[in-house]
Chains A and B, each alone.
Chain A
Amino acid sequence: MNNKAEIDNAINKFVGKKGILIPLLQTIQNIESYLSLEVMRYVAEKTGTKLAHIYGVATFYTMFRLKPQGKHIIRVCQGTACHVSGAKTIMSEIMDQLKLSADQDTTNDGLFTVMPVACLGCCSLAPVIMVDDQTHGKLTPDSIKNILKKYK
């Protein structure tokens, strides 16, 4: 837990309102980049919520990450339209370019985390990836290198 003051701030902002757990965890994840057990314990204590409940929520939703993540998140669409338009080769090109092995999702230098997602809603431009908040469409394996270069 590196940003205690900010986390306290977030908790104070949400506490007392109903249905706050998910947005609170989202805010904290934005601050810390992931949810460590330590952070979850801290939130449990501060908000009087059971740790099991917090852990249950954190593991249910794919958005929550329990491991540190890279500086840039690459969401690679695996939705139907992208699947039929070659999402597989895009994924393997990204893994190749970033030198990631099959069971690895974050580069050793901590710059990128690759995340498969179900659909980015830009299906007409399939195949699609999203780097942080920027969507890139109509991709070919050759276009990946240039996109990644911008973030290195």
Chain B
Amino acid sequence: MSFTIKVGLASCGLAAGAGEVYEATLKHIKSKKIDADVKKTACIGMCFVEPLVEIIQDGKKSITYGNVTPENIGTVIDSYMKGKPVLENIIISNIEKGSENDTMKKQERIVLRNCGNINPTSINDYLENKGYQALEKSVIKMKRIDIINEIKKSGLRGRGGAGFSTGLKWQFAYDAKSIKKYIVCNADEGDPGAFMDRSVLEGDPHSVIEGMIIGAYAIGADEGYIYCRAEYPLAIKHLNIAIEQAKEKGFLGNNILDSGFNFELHIKEGAGAFVCGEETALMASIEGKRGMPTIRPPFPAQSGLWEKPTNINNVETFANVAWIILNGGGKYAKHGTEKSPGTKVFALAGKIKNSGLIEVPMGMPLKEVIYDVGGGMKTGKPFKGVQLGGPSGGCLPAELLDTVVDYDSINKTGAIMGSGGMVVMDTSSCMVDIAKFFLNFTQNESCGKCTFCRIGTKRMLEILTRISEGKGNLEDLDTLENLSKNIIAGSLCGLGQTAPNPVLTTLKYFRDEYIAHITDKKCSAGVCSALLKYEINKEKCIGCTLCAVKCPVKCISGERKKAHEIDQEACIKCGACYDACKFDAIDKR
């Protein structure tokens, strides 16, 4: 009998304490002289129960444990070895019994095929899982145009947000006449609430690199860049390791697999600017300039990096490529819908039970994604909205949960698919506050080139702030809509063109809430602090003085063991007393 113990060590696992679990596993194995292979892997997507440990027997049977701690890992291993695995509350899936858990059952994994299964820092693991076979097939057996045709046949659309046909994009770069061409991977992932690209880069960096090499060969590029945000240190580390390994094996460098094709790949770290996710700004940033978007045309395929034809794709787009080349575009197109073929990785976050990473076929209704795959709401509170597409996207209400996830259906609602972030909200989120949150973000991140984007977003933010403080009036809502129209029309790049979306969708689907803030001066979610009133419930207060101690402006008074009182004039409505009270004696209204 052979045993393999895999510990998930991606950023999410590490943040939950997987590093300590890994150490404890090694120590336990050594001290008990257990014959098992301990392997590092990355994120399988079930971040909500990190740290995760999988025990595999003879490469066939396996059990995955969640919420493992350095304290309980010993028991988990020992009882497994004895043939009596502890199963209570930490078991996630038991492949032996064929009972994959619900989070996994409805998924179709192409992009995430290796994530959480292989050791991302081992090229041999990748090779054992058909790694670089697609590259070999491409450079040895296929003509460059055949590759492009295969991608076209798959119907793959760019996963960076806009959903442009990848095959067509490659065709434009292929057609461009130039000796020097570049290929770029957009790993900037600036959209807050999204972490698909991070997981793929951390968990299966070779799949992205292989996709890029194939793309470079197809369009005729000999140099490439991966532009990765600096907030992802582990992803950058794994990419660097993977590039060195690929060079050693002859998949990168000169005369790749004796085909005469040369390709060199660099990593560029971002420096913290959301707008650098936009392709023209990204290229300016690689060139070492301020990341200001420029007008298109010329498109990157004609004049991109250092004015040479450049093809730029997202991480997830590239991660699909090797699978398509190996299995055929036709087979890929069988997944998903006619207009949006394939699968899409979504990052589930917010008030959802199974937060983490999932990959589902396009065309699945939102309801199924959230309730069946995502496990529904985490808190006892009901669902209120789901935010799709980050700062460029929108919030959809419960009535629209029958919408299916594909580019065109989501666009119709006023939101966008975006990169695949899905933040689920319950009734404790205020939609005016969410709109304000995103406007604050875009206003900060606007590069300042276009007047409407620079000043328009600021004016919109001022109006939203006013409304959230109960100082708005009903005409403000028209002004918001008007400004939105003008910002969309008057902005050069996607940042400005989509910045009003969070406001427009909340106005469309949650207008009542705006009106309640304006006319009744009420925030039903209890978020907009200026509209709140904190009062001490005289019946419940036992006079423990904790609130008075915590109050930053010392506006709570009262004798010990007697009911306290809040001076409403002095109260700054910070909620410190509410959070501190252990007797539920502070009412928030």
Interface residues of A, Cβ cutoff 8 Å to B: 18-23, 26, 53, 56-57, 60-64, 75, 78-81, 83-85, 89, 92, 96, 117-126, 128, 130, 133-138, 141
Q: How far is the CA of A111 from the CA of B347 in the complex (A)?
A: 35
| Beta-carbon contacts under 8 Å, B176-230 to A | 189-195, 198, 230
Q: Is B508 an interface residue (CB 8 A)?
A: no
- Say how far A150's CB is from chain B's closest CB, in angstroms: 13
- Say how far B448's CB is from chain A's closest CB, in angstroms: 9
- Say how far A119's CB is from chain B's closest CB, in angstroms: 4
Interface segment, one of B25-33, B283-291, B323-331: B283-291
Excluding A80-B423, A123-B355, A124-B12, 9 further A-B contacts by CB distance (< 8 Å) are: A19-B288, A26-B271, A61-B271, A78-B192, A84-B428, A84-B429, A122-B11, A122-B12, A126-B350
Known: A121-B11, A126-B349. A133 touches B233 (CB 8 A): yes
Total residue contacts A-B, CB cutoff 8 A: 144
Sorted nearest first, the 9 A-B pairs with minimum C-beta distance are A79-B192, A124-B47, A61-B271, A21-B288, A80-B193, A119-B192, A81-B349, A124-B355, A123-B349
A81→B193 contact, CB < 8 A: yes
Kindly identify which residue among A18, A85, A137 contacts B15, using a CB–CB cutoff of 8 Å. Answer: A137
Chain B contacts for A117, CB-based, 8 A = 231, 272
Chain B contacts for A133, CB-based, 8 A = 233
Most buried by A among B190, B290, B357, B425: B290
A89→B272 contact, CB < 8 A: no
Chain B contacts for A134, CB-based, 8 A = 14
Main secondary structure of the interface of A (DSSP, over half): mixed
Q: Is B588 an interface residue (CB 8 A)?
A: no
Chain A contacts for B272, CB-based, 8 A = 61-63, 117
Q: How far is the CA of A96 from the CA of B441 in the complex (A)?
A: 24
- Say how far B483's CB is from chain A's closest CB, in angstroms: 22
Known: A80-B193, A124-B348. A141 touches B579 (CB 8 A): yes
Q: How far is the CA of A56 from the CA of B289 in the complex (A)?
A: 8
Known: A26-B269, A83-B437, A125-B50. A57 touches B350 (CB 8 A): no
Q: How far is the CA of A133 from the CA of B348 in the complex (A)?
A: 24
Kindly identify which residue among B195, B288, B290, B552 contacts A121, using a CB–CB cutoff of 8 Å. Answer: B195
Known: A57-B290, A63-B272, A125-B47. A137 touches B16 (CB 8 A): yes
Q: Is B394 an interface residue (CB 8 A)?
A: no
B423→A81 contact, CB < 8 A: yes
A62 closest partner in B (C-beta): B272
Q: How far is the CA of A125 from the CA of B13 in the complex (A)?
A: 9
Chain B contacts for A83, CB-based, 8 A = 437
Q: Is B344 an interface residue (CB 8 A)?
A: no
B12 closest partner in A (C-beta): A122
Q: How far is the CA of A83 from the CA of B502 in the complex (A)?
A: 15
B271→A118 contact, CB < 8 A: no
